[in-house]
Structures are given as C-alpha cells and as structure tokens.
C-alpha cells in the first residue's frame, strides 16, 4: 500500500507529508475515507508497537509544554525520535483549545527528529481519543520510538490517555493540598509517576508536596493500589523537577525507563497493551452501535416524542428505551 510505504520508508519532509496526510485521512468522518483509513492502519500494523508510549497530564499552566520541550530535546540528544500528540476535547467542544496553539514547544516543534500534532479539532472525547490512538500508530510506523500523549487535567481525558499509553505521568504544582485534589478526582490511581514541577520557585514547598504525596500513596497502597511497590520505589515515582531549568529531567527519564523496563521484563507491559487493544475494540463497537442506533430512520422518527413522554412522566424510561431499541432492529 503506497500511503503506508511512504510513511515507513521515506524520510525527512517526504515522510512528514505522508504522516500528515495519513493522520488527516484517519480524522475524516467520511465513510469511504474510513475504509481507506482502516486499510492503512492494517498495513502499518506490523511496523508498530516497538515504541514507548508516555501519557502526560496536568492542569493548564502546570508546565506540560515546557516539560515536553525539555524532555523531548533530552531524548533526541540520547538518539531517540519523539512524537507529541494531544488529546484536548475542549478544542472540539468550545472551538478553543486549552492546550494552546502551535507556539508551544518552539524548539522541539522545529526539530527534524520531532513530530508534533495538535489535538483533532472535532468529535467527542471518545472520537478525539480514538483518532489520537490511530495517529500514534502512524508515528510508530514512521520510526518515532517515543510517543508522548498529552492531555489536560480536566474531565475524563486522563482516563482515555492512560488507556492508550504504557506509563501515565501526572504533573502537579508544589501546592499543599494539590495532591488531595488529584486523589479526589481519582487521577492518582491512574498515575504511574507524579512530577512536581516548578521546584525552582520554592524547593521547600516542593519537597513537602513530595513527602505528602508519598504518604498519600502509602495509604492508597494499604487499600491495594500500586500494591507491588516498596516504599523506595514509591519515592522514585514522585519526582521533583524544574521543567524551565531542566533540573530533574534526566532523573525523571532514568526512573521512567527503569519502570518501563521492569514492566517489559515481567510481562505486565504486554498484558497492559493487550487489554488496551481489547478495550479499544470494545469502545469502537459501542460507539458504532450507538451511531447506528441514532441514524436508524425508525429511531429518528419516534425518539423525540418518546423522550418527551418520559420527561413528562407518562412513560417509564425502560419502556421507551425498549421500544426504541426494538425499532432500531427492525
């Protein structure tokens, strides 16, 4: 397949063009494009999987783009090729992007060994996440051996990103209480590592935040989460950092790499990826079924009226749902 060969075999600008074209195809909602996109993904499949997929999340302003720029350049220095993708549902819902525009990561974005693609600008979170997963495969087939998927610390996008990456990193500010919010929102359970950024501003506060976080994790461990960790390992997973100055970035990478290697060696990475693939398939089935349901002529005709009856209390929701489901099968 020509499109796939262009991605796998070409280099430089020609490869970038082929990648951009492929990703645009993957993001198209036209049915005939979808068939081509699936053929392309299948052709790329044998060239994927040999990379490290890193997820990164944090509230706007925590320093994600600064960190990705510093880390990305560090990794390129070590001989890697780095792709950066984003999952930002806000860009499709409000038309504006929380993750900002192309001025982010100025040095990385012009580097020949980096490929940066902003979030798809249309679709639901599920749709945006799915397009990003597919774009990730394009990057891998093109030989990018590290893919960083970035998202914002709002809503469900973190669950989506942790569901498509090997390791999920949460970025925090060194504010007391910040960690409690993360625990409340359930993000800590997703995080394999926590980065406390801007440690240069107030090292004492950052160190306190680190200690708090370690003790929170210990409590979570008592409840069965991250149960495999010894305390020493937990310390490794909470990293102090200054993305702006670059302090701690090399340490972060060492810890990350160690964790990844451990997961690779003990087989947990493989089973994680297998589960993710199965889950992805299930999500596609669910969204496909929903789409078919919504597009069914009989459903379109009676949906609004039945919903009104439910809202007004004239019809039990279960009855309305059953009628619509039956109509969708006719």
* Pairwise CA distance, residues 185 & 178, whole Å: 11
- Planar angle of CA 177, 156, 311, nearest 5 degrees: 115
**By the rule CB under 6 A, 178 interacts with ligand GDP:** no
* Pairwise CA distance, residues 273 & 304, whole Å: 41
CB-CB neighbours of 50 under 10 Å: 9
Q: Choose the binding region for ligand GDP from 54-62, 172-180, 208-216, 308-316 (rule: CB under 6 A).
A: 54-62
CB of 176 to ligand GDP, least distance (A): 18
Query: Judged by CB under 6 A, which of 57, 91, 162, 197 binds ligand GDP?
Result: 197
Structure token digits, residue 120: 């798809």
**By the rule CB under 6 A, 180 interacts with ligand GDP:** no
Q: Which residues contact 187 (CB under 8 A, 6 or more apart)?
A: 57, 153, 158, 170
Strand partners, 152: 58
- The three-class DSSP label of residue 135 is helix
Nearest CA-CA partner of 7 in 105, 85, 83: 83
CB of 174 to ligand GDP, least distance (A): 10
Query: Judged by CB under 6 A, which of 3, 58, 89, 120 binds ligand GDP?
Result: 58
For ligand GDP, the closer of residues 66 and 256 by Cβ is 66
CA atoms within 13 A on the CB side of 3: 18
**By the rule CB under 6 A, 250 interacts with ligand GDP:** no
CB of 247 to ligand GDP, least distance (A): 8
**By the rule CB under 6 A, 242 interacts with ligand GDP:** yes
For ligand GDP, the closer of residues 12 and 61 by Cβ is 61
Q: Please report the DSSP string for 205-265 in residue order.
A: HHHHHHHHHHHHHHHHHHTTTTTT--HHHHHHHEEE-BTTTTBTHHHHHHHHHHHHHHHHH
- Count of residues in contact with ligand GDP, rule CB under 6 A: 15
Q: Choose the binding region for ligand GDP from 2-10, 32-40, 53-61, 209-217 (rule: CB under 6 A).
A: 53-61
**By the rule CB under 6 A, 41 interacts with ligand GDP:** no
* Pairwise CA distance, residues 326 & 320, whole Å: 10
- Span between the terminal Cα atoms of the chain, in Å: 39
For ligand GDP, the closer of residues 76 and 244 by Cβ is 244
**By the rule CB under 6 A, 65 interacts with ligand GDP:** yes
**By the rule CB under 6 A, 130 interacts with ligand GDP:** no
For ligand GDP, the closer of residues 115 and 252 by Cβ is 252
**By the rule CB under 6 A, 157 interacts with ligand GDP:** no
Rounded to 5 degrees, φ, ψ at 280 are -60, -45
* Pairwise CA distance, residues 225 & 219, whole Å: 9
**By the rule CB under 6 A, 244 interacts with ligand GDP:** yes
Q: Choose the binding region for ligand GDP from 27-35, 49-57, 240-248, 294-302 (rule: CB under 6 A).
A: 240-248
Query: Judged by CB under 6 A, which of 55, 63, 123, 174 binds ligand GDP?
Result: 63
Site residues (vs ligand GDP, CB under 6 A):
58, 60-66, 197-198, 200-201, 242-244
């Amino acid at each position: 397949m020509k499109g796939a060969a262009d991605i796998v075999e070409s280099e430089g600008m020609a490869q970038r063009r082929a990648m951009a074209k492929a990703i645009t195809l993957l993001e198209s909602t036209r049915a005939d494009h979808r068939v081509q996109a699936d053929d392309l993904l299948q052709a790329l499949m044998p060239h994927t999987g040999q990379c490290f997929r890193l997820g990164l999340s944090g509230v706007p302003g925590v320093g994600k783009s600064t960190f990705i720029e510093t880390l990305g350049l560090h990794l390129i220095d070590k001989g890697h090729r780095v792709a950066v993708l984003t999952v930002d549902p806000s860009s499709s819902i409000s038309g504006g992007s929380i993750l900002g525009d192309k001025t982010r990561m100025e040095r990385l974005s012009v580097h020949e060994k980096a490929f940066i693609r902003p979030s798809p600008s249309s679709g639901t979170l599920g749709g945006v996440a799915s397009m990003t997963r597919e774009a990730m495969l394009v990057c891998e087939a093109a030989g990018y051996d590290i893919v960083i998927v970035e998202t914002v610390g709002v809503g469900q996008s973190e669950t989506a990103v942790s569901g498509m990456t090997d390791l999920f990193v949460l970025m925090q500010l060194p504010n007391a209480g910040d960690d409690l919010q993360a625990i409340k929102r359930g993000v800590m359970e997703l995080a394999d590592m926590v980065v406390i950024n801007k440690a240069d501003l107030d090292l004492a506060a950052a160190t306190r935040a680190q200690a708090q976080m370690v003790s929170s994790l210990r409590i979570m461990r008592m409840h069965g989460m991250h149960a495999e960790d010894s305390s020493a390992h937990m310390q490794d997973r909470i990293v102090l950092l200054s993305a702006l100055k670059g302090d701690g970035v090399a340490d972060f990478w060492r810890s990350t790499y160690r964790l990844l290697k451990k997961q690779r060696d003990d087989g947990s990475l493989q089973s994680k990826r297998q589960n993710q693939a199965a889950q992805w398939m299930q999500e596609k089935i669910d969204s496909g079924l929903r789409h078919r349901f919504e597009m069914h002529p009989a459903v379109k005709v009676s949906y609004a009226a039945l919903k009104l009856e439910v809202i007004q209390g004239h019809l039990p929701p279960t009855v309305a749902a059953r009628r619509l489901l039956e109509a969708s099968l006719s």
